[in-house]
Structure 1
Amino acid sequence: MARKDLLKNLMDAAPSDAPRAAMPPRSAKGAIGAVSQSIAELRDRALIEVPVDLIDDAGLKDRLDEDDGIAELAASIRDYGQQVPVLLRHSPNTEGRYEIVYGRRRVAAMKTLGRPVKAMVRELNTRDLIVTQGQENAARKDLSFIEKANFAAQMVAQGFDRKVVCDALHIDKTVISRMLSVVEALPEGLIPAIGAAPSVGRDRWLALAERAKGRDGAELRAMVQGATSDARFAAVFAGTAPKKPAKATTASPAPLRGADGAALGEAKPSAKGAQIKLTDPEFSGWLVENIEEIHRLFLKKRGE
């Protein structure tokens, strides 16, 4: 059989109505199996256009500020086209529909434009979908610390062990543990209320988690104020700052009077003693000259 006929038979083996990018590899051995596998891999990398109303959400929530920048992204795509494809899988529940693996913002932008989405389609089970989504997130520089921490916490909640979470996000166990400690320490609803806080790094989130220990969740959520997520974080961070100890009240100066009732000055008590201010220069000079004798009388009176 000529090579071109072999390739034609392999390509024609699939039903004509099946999406090209979705074809599973044929189960075959030898040269035919290798060619079939190569064709399947090419289909996996091929781009198709999918009507946006056939695409459903899937996987875990990776962004906290979902609507942030969608209008700007849509304007850019309108002017320059969709430069980067999204990754989809066939819906396991509904024939003819697709689910997003990654590229949610691009799909949302295309929805506002009413245009079909350029996409690659892969056959993924739910586990592989979430791991692939995590690997994509690990490579993105625009996801904030708390968004990655929130994604890791969702993976753990789905039953993935720490090793899989680490592999998916390309982060070691120590960092994952710190991420999870932040999410676990903060009351439910606080992180979504604050948002992505892109300018806030790991150390400040860890500090907020420490400050939030033992605090009422409703009290913390009430502190969330501000037009941006960075401002909202700053408001909660300031609201949970340790209170400074109140300064000791300073006693008012006490007047000093002589035997005849005349004013001699004033004494200002303090924790370390007293500050004496004399207004009679002659008496103040005499006091300095006789301070030793005066102190001797004090000791005698005290019994020393």
Structure 2
Amino acid sequence: MSKSSRKSIVASFGLLSAELENKLADEPKPAAPPPSPRVGAGVVGAAHRAIDDIRAERDRLKAIVEAGGGAVLDLDTALIDPSPYPDRLADDDASDFETFKRSIEAEGQKVPIQVRRHPSSAGRYQIVYGHRRWRAARELGKPVRALEVEISDLDLVVAQGIENANRQDLTWIERTLFASRMDDAGIKARNIYAALSIADAELARMRGVYRAIPADVIEAIGRAPKIGRPRWIELAKAITSDPESLVVVRRVLTDAVGGTSVSDQRFQRAFEAVKPSRQPQEDSNELSDLAGRKLGAWKISPKELRISADGPLGVEFMKFVGKELPALMERFSRERES
């Protein structure tokens, strides 16, 4: 597919999203037609559309397949490799996927995944999107229904981003890590904005995090569903302020991963290990007279001096200090002038 004949992936790449799969779960699957030439990525249409538009797109895709314009294949899952750009982190709770897998087992796979020919391994495929459907079919020992498309490396990663934009279950750090992988793949910023449905300010925040926190550290922490953008930014700032902190974070995470902690807890442990320490800003001392009798105590901070009395003698001392304050102010002024 030449650059001159291919429109922008953001404008022309269509998707069969998980939202579509859920919306149309009760509809019968179309029968697979005889094999025919591969369908180009652009035939599926534009991204980011309402449910009615997605339903219409599904019907159009079905018509294309039935007319011989594309082939829905039943592929051995062992012949398929995941995308070279992972978009999910390890999940602490496997129950959601188990529910999804059981629905595939009971009702069948309603929507095909998208695959492309593996660019370097003959006879194999790579997933464009549909990783959970592929994983479910693999664990169930069933072939997976797939639509083969022609797509470049750069368009593949943008296509995944478009698909991810329609998913509500990805955490902020998962989207951030995927933005990092698009960045590494040489995807232009304007396409990252479109693929993830974000503004340039949000991409700047994401870059601030993934450039400070290495991918292996993010992956060791995991999805951290309860940890939002502000906390990740705080962790990135803490690491940036002290490069040695990465050694501490990795050590903490090595200990945490070996235990039973979940990703939110792993984040908290890493953050607690490197967050800036807040040293006490106050200095305090006891007050005693020449005979060693306690009068009270005093505390001083950058903006306050506090004196507390202890017993009748301490109260007398407080009164004495109050009477001496005017003389102290005069002395202070004289010393500043000189």
- Shift, 1:122, TM fit: 1.4
After TM superposition, the structure 1 = structure 2 runs for residues 117-136 of structure 1, keeping only pairs within 5 Å, are 117-136=144-163
Q: What SS does the aligned partner of 1:49 have?
A: strand
User: Matched residues in 2 for 1:178 and 1:41: separation?
Assistant: 46
Residue in 2 that maps onto 1:184:
211
CA distance in 2 between partners of 1:252 and 1:157 (Å): 60
Partner of 1:106, secondary structure, is: helix
User: Max radius of gyration: which structure?
Assistant: 1
Q: Which moved more, 1:129-138 or 1:38-47?
A: 38-47
TM-score by length of 2: 0.65
Q: CA RMSD in A?
A: 3.6
Residue 138 of structure 2 corresponds to 111
Shift of 1:215: 3.4
Alignment-derived partner of residue 80 in structure 2: 55
Please give the alpha-carbon distance, in whole angstroms, between the structure 2 residues aligned to 1:275 and 1:67.
53
**How far 1:219 sits from its partner (Å)?**
0.8
- Following superposition, the deviation at residue 182 of structure 1 comes to 0.5
Q: Deviations over 1:113-132 (max 9, x none)?
A: 11010222212122222221
* Cα shift readout 1:99-146 (whole Å, capped 9, x = no counterpart): 100111221121111101022221212222222111111111111111
For structure 1, list consecutive stretches of 5 or more residues without a partner in the other structure.
1-17, 26-37, 258-262
Residue from 185, 193, 197 that aligns with 1:166: 193
Q: May I ask how many residue pairs the two structures share in their alignment?
A: 258
**Structure 2 vs 1, CA of residues 21 and 174 (structure 1 numbering), >3 Å: closer, same or farther?**
farther
Partner deviation per Cα, 1:22-66 (whole Å, 9 max, x = no partner): 2569xxxxxxxxxxxx95795566533212122122341111217
| Distance of aligned partners of 1:220 and 1:104 in 2 relative to their CA distance in 1, 3 Å threshold | same
Q: Given the superposition, is the C-alpha separation of residues 41 and 113 from structure 1 closer, same or farther in structure 2, using an over 3 Å criterion?
A: closer
Higher relative contact order (CA 8 A, sep 6+): 2
Q: Structure 2: how far apart are the matches of 1:88 and 1:67? A: 28
Cα offset, 1:274, TM superposition = 5.1
1:29 is matched with none
Matches within 5 A, 1:243-258: 243-246=277-280, 248=282, 250-254=284-288
| Equivalent of residue 222 in structure 1, options 244, 251, 254 | 251
Query: Percent identity among equivalent residues?
Result: 32
Name 1:237's counterpart in structure 2: 271
The corresponding residue for 1:7 is none
Could you say if the C-alpha distance between residues 39 and 190 of structure 1 is closer, same or farther in structure 2, counting changes exceeding 3 Å?
Answer: closer
- In the TM superposition, what is the alpha-carbon distance from 1:240 to its structure 2 partner? 2.5
What code does the residue aligned with 1:148 have? R
Q: SS where residue 82 of structure 1 aligns?
A: coil
Shift of 1:163: 1.5
- Deviations along 1:266-297, one digit per CA (max 9) or x if unpaired, are 312414475455558xx96xx98xx79x96xx
Q: 1:176 to 1:42 in 2, by over 3 A?
A: farther
Deviation at 1:241, TM superposition (A): 2.6
Q: Is the 8 A contact 1:56 1:100 kept in 2?
A: yes
After superposition, the Cα gap between the structure-2 partners of 1:66 and 1:125, relative to the gap in structure 1 and judged at 3 Å, is: farther
Aligned equivalents of 1:77 and 1:39: distance in 2?
24
Kept in 2: contact 1:21–1:47 (CA 8 A): no
Q: Is structure 2 residue 178 aligned with structure 1 residue 144?
A: no
